[in-house]
Amino acid sequence: PIQTTTNIWHNGSLIPWDKAQIHVMSHVVHYGSSVFEGIRCYAQPNAASIFRLPEHMARLVDSAKIYRMPLPYNVEQLSAAVIDVVEANGVAPCYIRPIAFRGYGELGVNPLKSPVEVYIANYPWGKYVPGTSGADVCVSSWSRLAPNTMPTLAKAGANYMNSQLIRMEAEINGYSEGIGLDTNGYLSEGSGENLFLVRGGVLYTTPLANSVLNGITRSSVLTLAKQLGIEVVEQALPREMLYICDEAFFTGTAAEVTHLRSVDRIMVGDGTMGPITKALHDEFFGIVHGTLPDRHNWLTPVNVK
């Protein structure tokens, strides 16, 4: 079970954790009509700060817009609300979960008559894909969402039914994560992570057109790679690139930068974290842990003792 905190932000005020409840007949329960975010608040020596808060809130606003869900708050107000709840709960490091959904109103499929509710919760949280020895992953038999079915640029709750299928299949077969292909058979992403490969010193990642979420860690790693002078290519990638690449890694708020040790039991390189992954990994962790300067202004300080 998740560790609780004291407060949850709801439509503009802080309410007790146990009072943040919805009715079973709420639209979202039946039709998956939610959009949400996952954000990390890191602890640095004598400080705490939230990673790329405005970018996460902008993506929430985008997700809501795609689903015609009017949000009564803008990016600045949502960012301020996140800071409020994190400071009120006084827990860092933590994971922050803002969510907007269609609440209790009508029960027809049409969501437009159900009220939009916004909640922001946070709780203490550690590593997701476990271990620094690398992840053993598989290619899933499930495809990612086809582009003309469920829009993957929206971080919508319903998209995670697909992620759940990928993740369960992987776990039941003894892998820590699954990689979905898009409906054309090209590499897409993990159930909750973007995918990067390295071959011949070039960094490859799957483009947004291949049914991926526009990951904020992905965009951060692309920025770091350019700054480190690494050649970056965003293009459709065939599955077998996973088997012949020198390095592979996942990025995500939860996964951070996690290298892949094997894919479908085929070793990636020699199974250890390769030099380009390591350079990006060290830059990323240096910035979020405060041992390197926050040169891209990615951290929003919060007052958590």
Residues annotated as catalytic are 155
Residue 72 near residue 135 (C-beta atoms within 8 A): no
Output the smallest distance, CB 188 to ligand PMP, in A. 9
Residue 29: Cβ within 10 Å count: 17
Output the smallest distance, CB 58 to ligand PMP, in A. 11
Closer residue to ligand PMP, CB minimum distance, 5 or 194: 194
Report which of 51, 99, 95, 128 is spatially closest to residue 289, judged by C-alpha positions: 51
- Stretch (H or E) spanning 23: none
Closer residue to ligand PMP, CB minimum distance, 134 or 252: 252
Q: How far apart are CA 128 and CA 113, in angstroms?
A: 37
Phi, psi of 142 (to 5 degrees): -90, 135
Output the smallest distance, CB 207 to ligand PMP, in A. 13
Write out the two tokens for 81.
């609300």
Within 13 Å of residue 262, how many CA atoms lie on the same side as its CB?
8
Output the smallest distance, CB 253 to ligand PMP, in A. 3
Write out the two tokens for 2.
């998740």
3-state secondary structure of 206: coil
Q: What percent helix, strand, coil does the chain show, rounded to 5?
A: 30, 30, 40
Closer residue to ligand PMP, CB minimum distance, 38 or 111: 38
Closer residue to ligand PMP, CB minimum distance, 38 or 134: 38
Q: How far apart are CA 293 and CA 279, in angstroms?
A: 15
Q: How far apart are CA 30 and CA 213, in angstroms?
A: 23
Phi, psi of 134 (to 5 degrees): 100, 160
Residues contributing to the site for ligand PMP (CB under 6 A)? 38, 163, 189, 192-194, 213, 215-218, 251-253
Output the smallest distance, CB 47 to ligand PMP, in A. 22
Output the smallest distance, CB 57 to ligand PMP, in A. 12
Residue 197's DSSP bridge partners are 204, 248
Write out the two tokens for 176.
């820590």
